[in-house]
């Protein structure tokens, strides 16, 4: 059974599919992970077949400048859709078409808009994946949107404010998706039903929500044939880590926000010093120089090994990072930057295990204040342990793999 899983984005968009591919392979299937060329080593290092799909990040020039454009609020979403996806439909389609040769089943990511097209062309079944609750755009459980935080206060008015917002987004998306409509015509395909960024991202066959069920309850306007699997988890080998003295604060910003961190790391250092706490900073490409005693910086450490050894986890709220933090049993301070991060942070806070401080407000004083409150209230620790126990047996990768194999056997 040859199953092609297509994805694009940061490591948070790659790791769940590696985890699912490993489970599929363990069950005798032949998974192929199709993504940007830069991820070949990550995928093949896990003994999973890889198919390159262009254009790749190198086509957009300096990576840090690219991240700055992506994280701009609200312009980042438009840049991703129009400049990174729509402008390269032919290139991505050609790569996916090669990857789909001999495939029995295709699996899409919200931004791999070529997968439904190829499923139509080749008459193949396909399944869609959703990485975070925000992508479901439910008017019954409305997301907290970057730059529109004020709108969430209008929930008491019912679904109407969000229904109006989603209709506005529909009009905007219609304009953004003009190249996709033209591309469909060039392939001889009939007009699509709905918009690719909204209902068009969902499969009529199977939709897998790859987030933990504690973050969102099923809603009446969720797509049909949807299953919440829990987070498929994967990270790399454990590097060097100092494990002496009291448990440290662990600061992490995922694989994307690290590129737009600004002075966050210096503020985190100053906050840790003010609290008199040991600290570990997982900084990606940043260079922090000499650090005070009791503090260490690492380019990379696997969250699954580090977070459970923390006194508290301070992170950006990306869905992959949050999934690991939820399983650590440690209280969290979430400093969301953009995209689904504010909504993920809101949902974690509602579980009673996290506090939220928007990244734009995260100076040393506010970080120290919020971390101090987090550590002083034992209720955060208790609730973090409750949720971690609840998720201990949740194997999202296995559930997703089993759902895909059942679908392909039908």
Is the pLDDT at 143 greater than 60? The verdict is yes
Percent of the chain with pLDDT over 90: 84
> Are 134 and 69 spatial neighbours (Cβ–Cβ below 8 Å)?
no
Instruction: Enter the tokens of residue 320.
Output: 């992959």
Above 60 in pLDDT, residue 93? yes
DSSP for 32-101 reads: EEEE-GGGHHHHHTTT-EEEE-SS-GGGGS-HHHHHHHHHSTTHHHHIIIIIIIGGGHHHHHHHHHHHTT
For residue 94, the Cα-to-chain-centroid distance in whole angstroms is: 25
Integer Cα distance of 76 and 81 in angstroms: 9
Give, rounded to a whole angstrom, the gap between the first and last alpha carbons of the chain: 12
Q: Which CATH class is domain 2-231+394-409?
A: alpha beta
Say which CATH topology domain 249-391 has. Answer: Rossmann fold (3.40.50)
82-117 core/surface letters (b: 16 or more CB in 10 A; e: else): eebbbebbeebbebbeebbeebebbbbbbbbbbbbb
Q: Which of 107, 140, 133 is nearest to 210 (CA)?
A: 133
- pLDDT, residue 242, reads 55
* More confident call, 67 vs 234: 67
pLDDT at 9: 93
pLDDT tens for 300-335 read: 899 999 999 999 999 999 999 999 999 999 999 999
pLDDT at position 308:
95
* Two structure tokens written together for 361: 């407000």
- Cβ contact 340:319 at 8 Å: yes
Strand partners of residue 356 = 334
Q: Mean pLDDT, to the nearest integer, of 119-143?
A: 94
Would you say the CATH fold of 249-391 matches that of 2-231+394-409? yes
Task: Answer whether 77's CB lies under 8 Å from 52's CB.
Answer: no
* SS3 state at 52: strand
- What residue has token string 């609200």? 74
Residue 24 pLDDT exceeds 70:
yes
Mean pLDDT of the chain: 93
- How many Cβ atoms sit within 10 Å of the Cβ of residue 19? 23
**Could you report the per-residue pLDDT of 233-256, keeping only the tens digit for each?**
887 655 444 556 789 999 999 999
pLDDT at 274 exceeding the cut of 80: yes
Handedness of CA 148, 151, 152, 158 (dihedral sign): negative
Domain boundaries, the chain: 2-231+394-409, 249-391
pLDDT tens digits along 384-404:
999 999 998 899 999 999 999
pLDDT confidence of residue 238: 52
Q: Which of 155, 123, 153, 115 is nearest to 5 (CA)?
A: 115
């Amino acid at each position: 059974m040859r199953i092609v899983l297509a994805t694009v984005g940061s490591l948070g968009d790659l790791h769940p599919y590696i985890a699912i591919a490993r489970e599929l392979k363990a069950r005798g299937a032949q998974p192929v992970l199709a993504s940007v060329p830069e991820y070949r080593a990550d995928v093949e290092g896990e003994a999973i077949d890889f198919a390159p799909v262009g254009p790749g990040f190198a086509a957009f020039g300096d990576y840090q400048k690219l991240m700055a454009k992506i994280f701009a609020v609200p312009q980042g979403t438009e840049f991703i859709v129009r400049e990174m996806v729509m402008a390269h439909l032919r290139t991505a389609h050609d790569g996916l078409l090669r990857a789909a040769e001999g495939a029995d089943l295709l699996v899409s990511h919200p931004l791999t808009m070529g997968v439904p097209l190829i499923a139509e062309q080749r008459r193949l079944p396909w399944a869609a994946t959703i990485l975070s609750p925000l992508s479901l755009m439910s008017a019954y459980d409305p997301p907290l949107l970057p730059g529109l935080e004020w709108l969430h206060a209008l929930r008491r008015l019912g679904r109407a404010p969000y229904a109006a917002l989603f209709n506005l987004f529909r009009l905007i998306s219609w304009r953004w998706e003009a190249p996709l409509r033209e591309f469909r015509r060039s392939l001889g395909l009939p007009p699509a039903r709905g918009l690719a960024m909204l209902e068009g991202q969902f499969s009529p066959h199977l939709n897998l929500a790859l987030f933990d069920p504690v973050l969102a309850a099923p809603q009446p306007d969720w797509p049909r044939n949807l299953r919440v699997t829990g987070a498929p988890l994967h990270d790399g080998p454990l590097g060097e880590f100092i494990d002496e003295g009291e448990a440290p604060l662990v600061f992490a910003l995922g694989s994307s926000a690290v590129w737009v961190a600004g002075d966050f790391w210096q503020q985190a250092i100053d906050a840790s010093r003010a609290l008199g706490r040991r600290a570990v900073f997982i900084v990606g490409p940043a260079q922090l120089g000499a650090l005070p005693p009791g503090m260490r910086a690492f380019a990379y450490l696997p969250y699954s090994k580090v977070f459970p050894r923390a006194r508290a986890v301070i992170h950006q709220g990306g869905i992959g990072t949050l999934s690991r933090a939820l399983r650590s049993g440690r209280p969290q301070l979430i400093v969301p930057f953009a995209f689904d991060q504010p909504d993920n942070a809101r949902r974690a806070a509602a579980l009673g295990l996290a506090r939220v401080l928007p990244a734009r407000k995260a100076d040393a004083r506010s970080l120290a204040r919020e971390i101090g409150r987090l550590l002083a209230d034992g209720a955060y620790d208790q609730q973090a342990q409750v949720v971690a126990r609840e998720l201990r047996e949740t194997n999202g990768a296995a559930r997703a793999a089993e759902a895909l194999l059942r679908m392909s056997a039908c």
